[in-house]
Structure 1
Amino acid sequence: MLILPLMAVIAYMALVGLVYLSQRALLYPGAGATPAPEPASWGETVHVKTPDGEMLQGLYNQGDSDKPCVLLFFGNGDRVNNYEFLAQALATRRIGLLAISYRGYPGSTGSPSERGLLTDGIAAFDWLSAHARSEIVVLGRSLGTGVAVNTAGKRPAVGVILVSPYLSVLSIAQAHYPFLPVEALLKDPFRSDLNIAKVRQPKLFLHGRLDDSIPLSSGQALYRIAPEPKTMLIYDGAGHNDILNDRMVGDVIRFVEALQGNGP
């Protein structure tokens, strides 16, 4: 009579072990042994050295020095090449864009972790600050919102845009895997909820009402605890991926241009 309960315990422990060992592959699906990136569809290829010795590859469109430049941190399965639409739209307004490939992602050395990505964010900001010589607006999407929040809390960005943000990766994982001891297992919790208080710059939150990857409720929870000034726009017909549309680009441009000349 004890065999079935014992087998269930063994199966559960095996599942816990598998999730623990594979969690970074799940969290960073865009990383790994990937071929060299194809020729860039936009921008100049640049390289950013991190304080811990990694070399990050990015794409950079230089804008006018009197215009803010956007620093983009993309989602966990994304690529810098995917942002030609944003780069071109910003370029029509003479606004620059730097999109950085995290460590372990195509073109960059190393392997991803929360500590590593947060280091990458600071290194990218410092590189852009030295090369653009203009105000910087930090834009994070999905997983990248955690990098954006940390970077803006430690560097003098003039503004912050968070597209599909989360309260924390920990809270998202707990919602998706309620049957697992997530808090004990998770290596990279990305606690934006603990860092957002340091982000005193103007903030624009953008979220799709139909988002089933990072629920709107998580973005709203982060928005509620964020300090002023802040604005949240909810796209009724958008989910997690189709939020990247002309409306979002227009809202980003309006926010960036409204910040011009308001830097620290």
Structure 2
Amino acid sequence: MFIGTYLVYATVMVLAHPRFIYPFGPDSFDDPTFTQHVIEGSDVHVAIAEGDEETAVLFFMGNGGALAYFTFSLKAHQDAGRTIAALEYPGGGGIPGSASEQSLKADALTAFDWLADRHDGPIAVHGYSMGTGLALHVAARRDVAAVLLDAPYVRMCELMTRASWLPACYMPFVQKWDNAKDVPQISAPVLIQHGSEDQLIPQEHGARLAALMEGEGGGVLFQPVAGASHNNLAGQAGYRARIEAFLTRADTPPE
């Protein structure tokens, strides 16, 4: 009886799990300092604010799914004078369509190539929560100047396992979001910021990801942020200063 019930539960969760991964918000992003683009030949939506600094940033938000919820991160780059482009996810923020791991990763590469075509300087990628998987996916496949990760996970399926009591990382048809797979291909310097009070993605995920990168010989700086939770990390004192210091070092050629 118990085994049958568990198998039914597992089947239902496999079918339903995208709803939990992509609980996108409806609020549209209407910041007048950004312009909205649909990349030609695709359904990929990007918002961009132009800046004067040499380095541009491509931002990938978390699964809140609406850029309106990530203004602290966007403003950190805008106020520093950088061009900041952000991928908008289908199904959230008034963008039509629906999302999957495969489609979002393809969209992320399309967005990077679009930004690279219009920006002559270096491009850094910046991911928050679920978006860290997109930042790492791009960094493993494109020439990026730096990688900024806020509250990253090693494998999202581990978080699913904790929440569901199912072996999500080993189940077919589950979208795994395995950041560890991209680590060996990362050559750009990486900054990880992760709150000590993060209950959604515990800080140990960021520490483990940093350790994996160090094991591959990559340049990674892990910055635990005392008192920060998952949703208020970007609003903490020192958040911007750590980004600026890191990008300054990344832009400075070795002697």
Q: Give distance in 1, aligned partners of 2:143 and 2:113.
A: 10
- State the alpha-carbon separation in 2 of the partners of residues 38 and 48 from structure 1: 17
Which residue pairs with 2:18 in the alignment?
Answer: 24
Deviations 1:77-105 (A, max 9, x none): 13122333343342332211111112333
Aligned-pair identity (%): 24
The answer to whether the Cα contact below 8 Å between 2:197 and 2:229 also exists between their aligned partners in 1 is: yes
1:230 equivalent among 196, 213, 220: 220
Deviations 1:111-134 (A, max 9, x none): 211111110110111011111222
Question: How many positions carry a matched residue from both structures?
Answer: 249
Q: After the TM superposition, which of the residue ranges 38-47 and 193-202 deviates more from structure 2?
A: 38-47
Identify the match of residue 72 of structure 2 among 85, 104, 107: 85
2:247 to 247, 253, 256: 256
Larger radius of gyration: 1
RMSD over aligned CA atoms reads 2.2
Q: Which amino acid aligns with 2:6?
A: Y
Per the TM alignment, residue 38 of structure 1 is displaced from its structure 2 partner at its CA by 5.5
Structure 2: any 5+ residue segments left out of the alignment?
none
**Are the equivalent residues in 2 in contact too, given 1:54–1:110 (CA < 8 A)?**
no
Q: Provide TM-score, normalisation by structure 1.
A: 0.86
Cα distance in 2 between the residues matched to 1:81 and 1:262: 35
Is 1:59 equivalent to 2:47 in the alignment?
yes
Residue 71 of structure 1: aligned partner: 58
Aligned amino acid, residue 25 of structure 1: R
> Aligned runs of 1:14-163 on 2, under 5 Å?
14-30=8-24, 34=26, 37=28, 39-49=30-40, 54-64=42-52, 66-163=53-150
Counterpart amino acid of 2:7? M
Q: How much has 1:251 moved relative to structure 2?
A: 1.5
2:159 corresponds in structure 1 to 172
Mapped pair 1:241 → 2:255: no
2:204 maps to 1:217: yes
Structure 2 distance, partners of 1:219, 1:38, is 29
User: Cα distance, 1:219 vs. partner?
Assistant: 1.4
CA distance 1:48–1:261, change in 2 (3 Å): farther
Q: After TM superposition, give the deviation of residue 242 of structure 1 in Å.
A: 1.1
Q: Which of 167, 171, 174 is the equivalent residue of 1:181? A: 167
Task: For 2:4 and 2:62, locate their aligned partners in 1 and report how far apart those are by CA, in whole Å.
Answer: 35
SS in 2 for 1:187: coil
CA–CA distance in structure 2, aligned partners of residues 76 and 118 of structure 1: 14
